[in-house]
Amino acid sequence: MRNNMKPCQHASNDTVYKEVVIIGNGPSGMVASFMLAGNVPYLRDIPEDLQIDEMLRARLSNLPEGQSLYETDLLELAEGLEGRSQNPIPLLMDNLLRPCADIGVNADGLIEWKYDVEKQIDHIVLGRGPPGGAWQSFPARVRTLSPAAWLCLPPHRAALTDRLPARAVADYCTRYVRACNLTRYFRSDVVVTSVRPWPRTGQPCSSVCPLAANFCVSGYDAGSGRGFRYLCARVITASGAGRAATLQPHVARYALHALAPLQRALQPAVDNNQPPVLIVGSGVSAADAVWLTLRANRHALHLHRTPAEALARLSPQTYPDYCQVYKMMCDRTSGDYVNYTSYPEHVIVDVTPETTDSPETTDTEYDTRLKRVKLLNIVTNEVQEVTVSIITVLIGSKPDLFFLQTNFSFDCIDIDCVKCRRRDEKRKIDNRRRSFLKEHWHYLKSILGQSIQICKSRFNYSEINGNTDTKCMMPDCNKIETCACNTELDNECDYEGYKNSLEAKFSCQCNSNPYSNGIGFGIDPEKPVDGRTNPVAIDKSTHELLYAPKGIYALGPLTGDNFVRFIPGGALAIVTHIHKMKTETE
């Protein structure tokens, strides 16, 4: 039995120590847990007829026999590899798990997994829902973009080249945790609210002693509201892209921002008199929404810009559904399609419900009241009005990293990070703090309903309840030419006026709260974190965050690896580094 299984004299009932805490229980967290549980990758013999990169073959052939990948220089092995990931070790692992996949060859993987109890690292995986992350929320009818062979997680392998329903992937994630004996490591239906550095107060008596902790991870159980606290040496952020991008508040309050509620809201039309559905977006998710609407025999009004490159690259033989939507988008107004109307280069100006009988959308899952929507063509400046029953906005999603940004408290609230930029003179810091608390009191009130301890852990950011506050006091701020931000908040409004098109007239440049956007952690630290344009800045060899304390890692969509096939490489980099650090300290 290992030494770290012995009881520790510093342990207590109210504090749980884990060597590693993983935030997020999607594929990223699942693969990381699989490796931390003691499953070690070894290289198989490489067939002579396998057409892998020749330089990679040469480097792999020089590895000592019987050596695990945890003991190798992964960055050196990955040198020169190219593919659909910007991170070298995910590219390396993909080449080993799915050799020649990009040229259509379904070859056996070059990795063999062996269980080693000495490589087991005690950890916990925390997730908001059941294992599988976002896959559990996708509509059952929506099919995956990747083929089945690219969605399998180690140590599994599939020879299928067909696309799968999203429900099949969600079920696979549930089975994966049980099949790999990972159930004891997973804790579902919890919300992590803060990750804070933990000061050491003495010499740890063992490697699993709470005195060895570097971080404190706090949160609460979504069902009971009871708080929890884990002390740990390292943190892995695998939370993916869990926050939908939205339009202005006066539009967002009437809109859906996910495919699952849209599918539930769509009732198959029995005649042609059903009101149409308005869909905003030009990517894969928006194409899914169009497809779901057409299959429900409803009319789709599609507001979009130039179709996303992801749609343009898809093969008509493999993706006939997406390619049909892509063709309709490209035809713009010249196409004559049943139940589809294209509105290229349009923006929503105003949304007005025809009745006020139904409750607000904040109290129900979706709002099917008839709504009059004013649309502006930003090319011709023409305005027209349409009547719809459902508005769906699918313009991408971004990571929710509020739990990492804990740089304010009840005693010191840093408003500089959330100011909206107005050209007035700066107010005193005391006035700004009072205004901030007044503006956010309804969020604080709901948090204080639990207990003081839970309140302190939850207060890191008011967006815990789903708010994307722009700090604009007037609800019609986005509809007028002059931004009407509240001057008491010391906001400097950066509105530049009427520029290249009238689109600027309807978009106040008030920044959303950066406590959720991850400002400070991206490759460009001054911009919000985005898995496609501004992923978190990491050490490519270890996947440690560059702009955070040592011991915090990231993988998956946070690092720009938006395909499941590249996730195992990020987990390999992290677990390899953890083992090396443990070896150096023992």
* DSSP-derived secondary structure for 415-484: GGGG--B-SSPPPPHHHHHHHHHHHTHHHHHHHHTS-HHHHHHHTT-GGGGS------SSTTGGGSSS--
- Please check whether the two domains, 18-241+528-585 and 246-395, share a CATH topology: yes
What is the predicted pLDDT for the residue at 586? 66
Residues 6+ apart with CB under 8 A from 259: 138, 139, 142, 285, 288, 289, 292, 394
pLDDT tens by residue, 195-229: 999 887 766 766 667 777 899 999 999 888 888 99
Rounded Cα–Cα distance for residues 272 and 278 (Å): 16
Low-confidence winner among 22-26, 460-464, 558-562 (lowest mean pLDDT): 460-464
- Overall pTM > 0.85: no
Q: What residue spans define the domains of the chain?
A: 18-241+528-585, 246-395, 410-514
Look-up of token digits 């009191």: 441
Give me the sheet containing 277-280, strands edge to edge. 255-256, 390-393, 277-280, 300-304, 340-344
Three-class SS string for 112-136? EEEECHHHCCCEEEECCCCCCHHHH
For the cut 90, the answer to whether the pLDDT of residue 93 exceeds it is yes
- Structurally, at CATH architecture level, domain 246-395 sits in 3-Layer(bba) Sandwich (3.50)
- Residue 488 pLDDT class (50, 70, 90 cuts): very low
Across residues 410-436, what is the average pLDDT?
Answer: 39
Residue-level pLDDT at 220? 92
Say how many residues make up the chain: 586
Query: Which pLDDT belongs to residue 338?
Result: 86
Checking if the pLDDT of 358 tops 60, the result is no
Return the higher-pLDDT residue of 269 and 463.
269
CATH number of the domain at 18-241+528-585, please?
3.50.50.60
Q: What confidence tens digit (pLDDT) does each residue in 539-584 have?
A: 999 999 999 999 999 999 999 998 999 999 999 999 999 999 988 7
Task: Determine the pLDDT at residue 101.
Answer: 77
